[in-house]
């Protein structure tokens, strides 16, 4: 059978990076092909070539066995190729129908908008593929999962046969992701063909018919979900054995480094969002702060790092009353912060990697003499950290904004962990990262603990909390509802606490019963 799509020897380089190196790929009709790879592996580049956004340096594209040239998205659509981007391209104040009609060639040629007919067609498409989209609703009123389905309708409306989904689940809740998988199944049952891009192992195993793994621009293997598991896929992706379980010795807590007493924090509407919270963290231990997102964790971290004022309460860091300290004063005490929103709070995107690596210390020796920055020292520091922390960047002078999310996060981790610190606040340190980077960052955090650093780890990922923490505090509606030793307790127990229920006794761990799907 001739594949519906074939890519032969596709090669594309950007300054300093070979993003795609002679990639061959074939897609059969009615199949879901997963393209799995770490951040920066070259997945989006390949798909942007297929969609006509980039031109390949070499290689060819065949559709139903015929060579085609795709110079633009318009060409791609003419050949039946459609792409659902990570960032939607919808106009919020328009209805679904208006959004779908927008830019459609047929509409342009006819020169007028036949809304009722378009609405009818959208409804038919929605019904045929179980998309449950109302053509008359305004896009701004739709949840993200439904907006994504509008993007899918846009493609089907233009008769796309090959659908490309680039990391579609990144913006979805776990429930929305499951709904999307059902839709993808319906699409292929009705004869469409799908390329599904992801770096999440669970997802490829759940939905793919066939899996292709790419690493650093080349195809490193192909497999079927039934013949593989998370560990083999992770190793293919990263190119070495990956430990999905963190290797961690018993902890030996020392003196109290961080003490929070009766902390109260309000949000901008004056609602109390951190309500009389007290805890302490000792040198050499990791306290995991668990909780469903939005239960006050963000504000607690902001108060602890000087980004927000407390209404009342006391914070003592390294023996000093830091209750009214600014972020810089807290940094100077010897504390570090890996922020939740790395692009907004952790990096200056237009600055170079080298500059971002000294953001906390650029005004001091050896990086500055008076007001003159010492570029040779800044560069030396960067070269060392790029190597030590395996930051994938064309050079130290590349702007941080052009790196992949995983590498941006490594820049922050490198900067924060390479300083002599006694206290680390790590907020969702691995959000959106692939397994290779997650393993790496987890190892670094545990190393820091073993060096005697006190660590507060904040994460909505229960797995991460349970793997790394020595003690776990659970936050619910602004309060710490329990703090427990992370020994012999089950996920169910923490899960119940996260839902605000305090069980009488910690439930014994049940090996085969996993509740991660609930959260």
44 binds Mg ion (CB under 5 A): yes
User: Residue 32: in which H helix or E strand, if any?
Assistant: strand 32-36
- Plot region of 132 (φ>0 → left; ψ -120 to 50 → alpha; else → beta): left
Instruction: Look at the block and give the residue holding tokens 């049940």.
Output: 510
Residue facing Mg ion at closest CB distance: 44
Q: Which is nearer to Mg ion, 41 or 283 (CB)?
A: 41
Q: Which is nearer to Mg ion, 194 or 424 (CB)?
A: 194
Q: Which is nearer to ligand ADP, 46 or 283 (CB)?
A: 46
Identify what 155 binds: Mg ion, ligand ADP, none; CB under 5 to 8 Å per kind: none
Give CA angle at 456 (450, 461), nearest 5°. Answer: 105
What distance in Å separates the CA atoms of residue 96 and residue 132, rounded to the nearest whole number?
12
The answer to whether residues 193 and 163 touch, using CB atoms and an 8 Å cutoff, is: yes
Q: Which is nearer to ligand ADP, 310 or 400 (CB)?
A: 400
How many other C-beta atoms lie within 10 A of the C-beta of residue 63? 19
CB of 436 to Mg ion, least distance (A): 15
Q: Which is nearer to Mg ion, 236 or 426 (CB)?
A: 236
Identify what 291 binds: Mg ion, ligand ADP, none; CB under 5 to 8 Å per kind: none
CB of 507 to ligand ADP, least distance (A): 39
How many other C-beta atoms lie within 10 A of the C-beta of residue 134? 16
Identify what 453 binds: ligand ADP, Mg ion, none; CB under 5 to 8 Å per kind: none
Q: Is 215 helix (H, G, I), strand (E, B) or coil?
A: strand
Q: Give the single-character DSSP code of 507.
A: P
Question: What residues have CB less than 8 Å from 384, skipping those under 6 apart?
Answer: none
What distance in Å separates the CA atoms of residue 251 and residue 268, rounded to the nearest whole number?
38
Q: Give the single-character DSSP code of 365.
A: T
198 binds Mg ion (CB under 5 A): no
Stretch that binds Mg ion, among 37-45, 56-64, 285-293, 340-348 (CB under 5 A): 37-45
- For Mg ion (CB under 5 A), the number of binding residues is 1
CB of 18 to ligand ADP, least distance (A): 8
Q: Which is nearer to ligand ADP, 42 or 253 (CB)?
A: 42
How many other C-beta atoms lie within 10 A of the C-beta of residue 412? 25
What distance in Å separates the CA atoms of residue 195 and residue 44, rounded to the nearest whole number?
11
Q: Which is nearer to ligand ADP, 43 or 449 (CB)?
A: 43
Identify what 39 binds: Mg ion, ligand ADP, none; CB under 5 to 8 Å per kind: ligand ADP
Identify what 40 binds: Mg ion, ligand ADP, none; CB under 5 to 8 Å per kind: ligand ADP
Identify what 41 binds: Mg ion, ligand ADP, none; CB under 5 to 8 Å per kind: ligand ADP
CB of 42 to ligand ADP, least distance (A): 4
CB of 244 to ligand ADP, least distance (A): 20
Contact residues for ligand ADP (CB under 6 A)?
A: 14, 17, 19, 37, 39-45, 404
| Strand 320-321 to 58-63 pairing | unpaired
| Strand 479-485 to 471-476 pairing | antiparallel
169 binds Mg ion (CB under 5 A): no
Q: Which is nearer to ligand ADP, 361 or 399 (CB)?
A: 399
Question: What residues have CB less than 8 Å from 168, skipping those under 6 apart?
Answer: 84, 86, 148, 180, 196
The answer to whether residues 467 and 441 touch, using CB atoms and an 8 Å cutoff, is: no
Bridge partner list, 456: 287, 425
Q: Which is nearer to ligand ADP, 46 or 125 (CB)?
A: 46
What distance in Å separates the CA atoms of residue 131 and residue 413, rounded to the nearest whole number?
41
What distance in Å separates the CA atoms of residue 257 and residue 336, rounded to the nearest whole number?
13
Identify what 436 binds: ligand ADP, Mg ion, none; CB under 5 to 8 Å per kind: none
CB of 135 to ligand ADP, least distance (A): 32
DSSP states of 167-178: SGGGGS-HHHHH
CB of 197 to ligand ADP, least distance (A): 7
Contact letters for Mg ion, residues 473-512 (x by CB under 5 A): ----------------------------------------
Residues of this chain that interact with Mg ion (CB under 5 A) are 44
């Amino acid at each position: 059978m001739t594949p519906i799509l074939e890519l032969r020897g596709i090669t594309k380089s950007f300054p300093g990076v070979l993003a795609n190196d002679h990639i061959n790929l074939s897609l059969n009709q009615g199949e879901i092909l997963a393209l799995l790879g770490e951040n920066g592996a070259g997945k989006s580049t390949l798909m942007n070539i297929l969609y006509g956004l980039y031109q390949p340096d070499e290689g060819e594209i065949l559709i139903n066995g015929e060579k085609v040239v795709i110079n633009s998205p318009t060409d791609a659509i003419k050949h039946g190729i459609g792409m659902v981007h990570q960032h939607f391209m919808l106009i919020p104040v328009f209805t679904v129908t208006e959004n779908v009609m927008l830019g459609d060639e047929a509409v342009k040629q006819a020169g007028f908008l036949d809304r009722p007919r378009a609405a009818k067609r959208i409804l038919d498409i929605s019904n045929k593929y179980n998309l449950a989209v109302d053509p008359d609703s305004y896009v701004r009123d739709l949840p993200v999962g439904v907006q994504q389905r509008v993007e899918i309708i846009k493609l089907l409306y233009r008769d796309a046969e090959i659908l490309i989904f680039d990391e579609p689940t990144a913006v979805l809740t776990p429930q929305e992701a499951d709904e999307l998988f059902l839709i993808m199944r319906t699409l292929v049952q009705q004869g469409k063909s799908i390329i599904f891009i992801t770096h999440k192992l669970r997802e490829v195993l759940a939905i793919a018919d066939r899996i292709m793994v790419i690493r650093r621009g080349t195809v490193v293997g192909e497999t079927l979900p039934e013949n593989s598991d998370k560990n083999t896929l992770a190793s293919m992706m990263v190119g070495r054995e990956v430990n999905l379980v963190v290797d961690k010795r018993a902890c030996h807590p020392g003196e109290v480094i961080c003490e929070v007493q009766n902390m109260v924090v309000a949000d901008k509407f004056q609602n109390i969002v951190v309500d009389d919270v007290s805890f302490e963290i000792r040198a050499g231990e990791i306290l995991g702060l668990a909780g469903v997102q939005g239960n006050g964790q963000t504000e607690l971290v902001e108060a602890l790092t000087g980004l927000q004022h407390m209404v009342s309460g006391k914070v003592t860091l390294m023996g000093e009353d830091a209750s009214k300290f600014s972020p810089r004063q807290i940094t100077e005490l010897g504390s570090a912060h890996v922020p939740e929103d790395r692009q907004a709070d952790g990096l200056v995107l237009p600055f170079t990697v080298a500059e971002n690596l000294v953001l906390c210390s650029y005004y001091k020796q050896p990086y500055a003499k008076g007001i003159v920055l010492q570029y040779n020292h800044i560069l030396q520091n960067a070269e060392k950290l790029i190597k030590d922390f395996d930051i994938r960047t064309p050079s130290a002078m590349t702007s941080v904004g052009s790196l992949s999310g995983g590498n941006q996060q490594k820049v922050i981790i490198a900067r924060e962990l390479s300083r002599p610190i006694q206290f680390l606040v790590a907020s969702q340190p691995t959000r959106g990262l692939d397994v290779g980077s997650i393993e790496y960052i987890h190892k670094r955090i545990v190393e820091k603990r073993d060096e005697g650093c006190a660590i507060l780890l904040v994460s909505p990922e229960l797995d991460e909390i349970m793997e790394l923490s020595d003690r776990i505090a659970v936050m619910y509606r602004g309060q710490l509802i329990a703090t427990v030793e992370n020994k012999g307790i089950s996920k169910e127990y923490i899960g119940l606490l996260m839902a605000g229920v305090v069980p009488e006794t910690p439930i014994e761990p049940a090996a085969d019963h996993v509740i991660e799907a609930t959260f």
